[in-house]
Each structure stands twice: as C-alpha cells, then as structure tokens.
Amino acid sequence: MIIRKKITLVVLLLSITSLSAQTIVRKNGLNAEAPQVNKYTSLSFWDSQSFVFGVGVNYYVLEDLELMNTYNSQQLIYLCPEISIEYITRWEPLKLKIMGGPGWDEWATRTTFHSAAGLRIDWMGIRNSTVGFQVMGELFRGEEPVSGWSFSIVQSNPWYFGVQVDLYSGLGLVQIEDWESSYMLKFGAQVNFGQY
C-alpha cells in the first residue's frame, strides 16, 4: 500500500514539474502587451466574449493523510466525465469556473456526483500554449460524501476552429465522513469550445 502511495505522489510531482518548467513569466507582469496567442472571440448565441464550454474526464484519488499508516489505510478512486463552464473576466487571465458530472469508483461498485467551483489564472507559455493554475472547491455526493479544495497546475494547448485542450494535475485537502483527515490527487484532460 505504501509503495502505491509513493508511486502516486511521484507521478503527481513529475506532472507538476513538467508543466511548471514550460512557464515563462514576463518582466512587466500579466498586464504587459503580449503576442495575440490566446485571443477570445464571441459566441454568436451569447453575443459575448465571456463564456467557454468544455467536456472532460477527471481522475480523483482520495486517501488517508497518514502516509505511513500501511495497515488501516483507506482509499477512494473515482473516474468522472464532466462538463464545465468558464466565465472570462475583464482581466483576461482570470476566469471563473464551474464543473460537474457523475463518477464511478475503480470497481464500478460506488457512484458519486462531483461538482466544483473556483477560479483559474493563466500565464503566457511557450509554443503557443499557456500555463497557469486553478483553485477549486470540491464536492462529492453519494455513498461517501466528500468536501474540500484543490490546487492544480493547468496547461492549455490551442487547436483549430476555437478548440482548446487543457491538461491538469493537482492536489488538495478534503474531509470524508468517518475519516480523520484526507488528501486528494487530481488528474484530468478537458476540451474547450468557444475560444480564439
């Protein structure tokens, strides 16, 4: 059990390191002029430049915070297909985000419904991509109610025709009924529509 925990943590750290290595922070900050890599155009039915819609798949690992407790360790793993809506504020790097969708554990014996809300901030990156972070309040409803928050590193890669792919990984602290203290690892990929 402890080996599995160590492997999971190593994978998370490598993911965050690889994404962070691509970040370029401009000397003048986010308000400085930058190449028009991520320019948002309006969605005709909203007549606005403010909304982005996405679909994605997220993988959540919930475990006891006591890493050395190898005998009484508890773990929940959920795979959740989800939809999301992002609102782009007047300060373009800042976005408000909500998401939600059903989920199943690794043996398909437990079901849950996951929802989250929070904010995201993007920086300019290299090779026409952006790297940023998001902070989300997390909520799972089902046989094992869970609540908490997460911090994730996000890499966004533009495709064509207003489509963008996000990859993210992160961690957080959560409260699970009958568990003393727990942490969450989060990995996911998402396709967004309505940008550029």
In whole angstroms, give the CA distance from residue 136 to residue 146: 14
In whole angstroms, give the CA distance from residue 81 to residue 50: 24
In whole angstroms, give the CA distance from residue 114 to residue 18: 27
E strand or H helix at 7: helix 2-20
Q: Note the pLDDT of residue 74.
A: 79
Instruction: Tell me the per-residue pLDDT of 126-170, one tens digit each, with 9 for 90 and over.
Output: 677 889 999 999 999 988 899 999 999 999 888 877 788 999 999
Enter the DSSP assignment of 50. Answer: -
Instruction: Tell me the per-residue pLDDT of 88-101, one tens digit each, with 9 for 90 and over.
Output: 888 888 999 999 99
**The domain defined by 2-22+45-193 carries CATH number 2.40.160.20:** yes
E strand or H helix at 15: helix 2-20
Cβ 101 vs Cβ 82: under 8 Å? yes
Instruction: Tell me the per-residue pLDDT of 17-59, one tens digit each, with 9 for 90 and over.
Output: 444 444 433 333 444 433 344 444 444 334 446 889 999 999 9
Confidence grade of residue 107 (pLDDT, cut at 50, 70, 90): confident
In whole angstroms, give the CA distance from residue 123 to residue 33: 12
Please, which residues have CB within 8 angstroms of residue 179's CB and are 6 or more apart in sequence?
A: 64, 74
Instruction: Please provide the average confidence, as pLDDT, over all residues in the chain.
Output: 77
How many Cβ atoms sit within 10 Å of the Cβ of residue 162?
Answer: 15
Listed by start position, the domains of the chain span: 2-22+45-193
